[in-house]
Chains A and B, each alone.
Chain A
Amino acid sequence: MLPPFLHSTDEHIRSLELIANRIRQSIIEMLLEAGSGHTAGPLGMADIFTALYFSLLRHDAKRPTWDDRDRVVLSNGHICPVLYATLAHAGYFPVKELLTLRKFGSRLQGHPHREFLPILENSSGPLGSGLSQATGMALADKIDGITHRYVYCLMSDGELQEGNTWEGAMLAGKERLHNLVAIIDRNNIQIDGFTEDIMPLEPLRAKWEAWNWNVLEVDGHDMEDIITKVNQAKSSYGKPNMIIAHTIPGKGVPEFERKFEWHGKPPNKEEAALALESLRSFAGQIQHEGQ
């Protein structure tokens, strides 16, 4: 089954926003149960994952190994709660399984491991190697002359400090891999602080353009913008595509937003209750549950 064809109607956008909100709630619930894991990145990327799995991707939850599917490489494995939650809500496995995150015997390892969950395209965790893996996948299709599927790479801004990322960037640019769509979660934080304090990344756009990439920037919380820009990227010719997605770390929970302290820790019981309350009321915009 192909994803619903794109209708950027208000209704479609609204339905995606509701799904993203539900995914955010699952992220909080699973992190609370696990007692460890990353909070800020997963919340910040919920809209993009929703747009991908509920609107943009060529995929089928009933046939996870369908050969014609688009490939999604998660490079920054530490934000896997958002990937797991999205896959569950998209029908790949039961939502209740999310509560096994990081537990012994779980398919949902602390960082993704495809030996445990073979529907994943790759295992990840150590930063900096995802873009190259996605480049290899896109290259394979180029060699075979396959043009109908795309390879997506989700990556963090912090991992741009890894040299391997730039090695991959050079090769993808040289090979003109227009079937590659990379998305950077530009949330400006990493474990030790703000990226621009730890290791400045700007001018980021110019760096990718210099390696011969087609670069787009997007508001990572604007569904319509995300869908439009990804489609623009897919229709580009002769260059790999980089979408710099400006996101708010901890998005959806005002108390968590933009604080690097939330990069690598889970909420405790009170914080989780606060977060869920905030998400259920759309950050206080509505006063009752039952969206």
Chain B
Amino acid sequence: MMLNKNIFSKTPDVSPIRKGFGEGLALAGKEDTRVVGLCADLTESTHMSLFKEQFPKRFIEVGVAEQNLATVASGLAAMGKIPFITSYAMFSPGRNWEQIRTTIAYNDRPVKIAGSHAGISVGPDGGTHQAIEDIALMRVMPNMTVVSPCDAIEARKATLALAKTDKPAYIRLSREKTPIITLEDTPFEIGKGSVIYENDASKKGHKDVAIIATGPILFQALKAAYSLDQDRVGVVVVNIHTIKPIDQKLVVKVAQEYKSVVTVEEHQVSGGLGSAVCEVLAEHEPVPVELVGIRDLFGQSGTPDELIKHYGLDAESIIEAGRRAIHRKK
């Protein structure tokens, strides 16, 4: 099984996703001397410090200047480097979107944009620092790969995998310690989603609803699926860590099998995972889809748990969405 057995316990193992990124980047730097790191005054926060300590000559501090962060990286990539740039997602790719579009994506340079502190679960900092539009911003951009790992282990694997590609990419990271969902030997391949959990009711043939989730909020989806099992509602949970290119085959397959879908993301429902799934299903397998995400609102201060509940991203909300999706089948 690819799922951490500890995940349904009262105290699942936790670790920050950005730490997985930092470890992955340090490993990538060891494997390939072309890897360089750039940061906009958030080296500790983004865990790029792990790379900086090991490879000081390949680390560049650009200061609080996210537009420069992206454009300098484009120049480095033009000379054969593989730059990773880090800041808060709200500022990169938020503030420097056009620079990323023109100098990285339009030039087709292999710059990897790591946006940390994404999602509302940044918590107390408030709405200005909560990037909940970043998937949409990056997904719409030609040439850009978009990856949203679900835990620290996956973030490390994703970072290493991205360092080996010659395309521009965005990797979305969250701030908080989040549950370790996957295992060390869970396979990871860019562009490939995976069925991460199938509850017992589903195994017994009750194919009721497929939940497709991305990022650490996948944990809430797993809790929902586990809980629905007690009501004999058959649920499969799919982890889509690569939002672009999305694993169309898998999305269509579970939609055919389960005939209804719920998407879950810590992001606006517009333009994110839900939209991506709907685009695939509308063209290939139209089934009822319920989208769990933030509905045209900005975030606010609060603890991550308070915010996830308030904005309707918790397991309870996912269960309700699942029931609505099943109901719409009739």
Contacts and interface: CB of A to CB of B under 8 A. Distances in A.
A140 B60 contact: no
A141 interface: yes
B68 interface: yes
A140 B76 contact: yes
A281 B205 CA distance: 88
A122 B107 contact: yes
B33 to A, nearest CB: 9
A170 B65 contact: yes
Contacts, number: 97
Contacts of B73: 136
Contact of B72 (A122, A128, A135): A135
B191 interface: no
Interface string B62-104: 1101011001111111111101000000000000001100110
Contact of B60 (A114, A139, A163, A168): A139
A121 interface: yes
A143 B103 contact: no
A257 to B, nearest CB: 31
Contact of A123 (B75, B81, B102): B102
Given A113-B106, A129-B103, A143-B36, A136 B71 contact: yes
A136 B76 CA distance: 5
A164 interface: yes
Most interface-central of A126, A136, A139, A143 (chain B CB within 10 A): A136
B57 interface: yes
B176 interface: no
A178 B171 CA distance: 34
A164 B71 contact: yes
Interface in A103-120: 113-115
Nearest to B65: A167
A188 B265 CA distance: 50
A98 B75 CA distance: 27
Interface string A138-181: 11110100000000000000000001100110110001000000
A26 interface: no
A122 B197 CA distance: 46
Contacts of A164: 67-68, 71, 99
Given A129-B99, A167-B65, A167-B68, A136 B74 contact: yes
A164 B95 CA distance: 11
A132 B60 contact: no
B108 A115 contact: yes
Contacts of B103: 122-123, 129, 132-133
A163 B76 CA distance: 20
Most interface-central of B60, B68, B81, B98 (chain A CB within 10 A): B68
Nearest to A172: B72
Contact of B75 (A114, A136, A170): A136
A129 B79 contact: no
Contacts of A135: 72, 75
B58 interface: yes
Nearest to A151: B75
A150 to B, nearest CB: 13
A132 B102 contact: no
B67 A140 contact: no
B67 A167 contact: yes
A125 B98 CA distance: 11
Question: Which 7 pairs across A and B sit closest by C-beta, in order of nearness?
Answer: A136-B75, A132-B71, A167-B68, A140-B79, A167-B65, A136-B72, A133-B75
Interface of A: 71, 73, 113-115, 121-126, 128-129, 132-141, 143, 163-164, 167-168, 170-171, 175
18 contacts: A71-B79, A115-B108, A122-B74, A122-B107, A123-B107, A124-B102, A125-B102, A129-B102, A132-B74, A132-B103, A133-B103, A137-B75, A140-B79, A141-B79, A143-B58, A164-B99, A168-B71, A170-B65
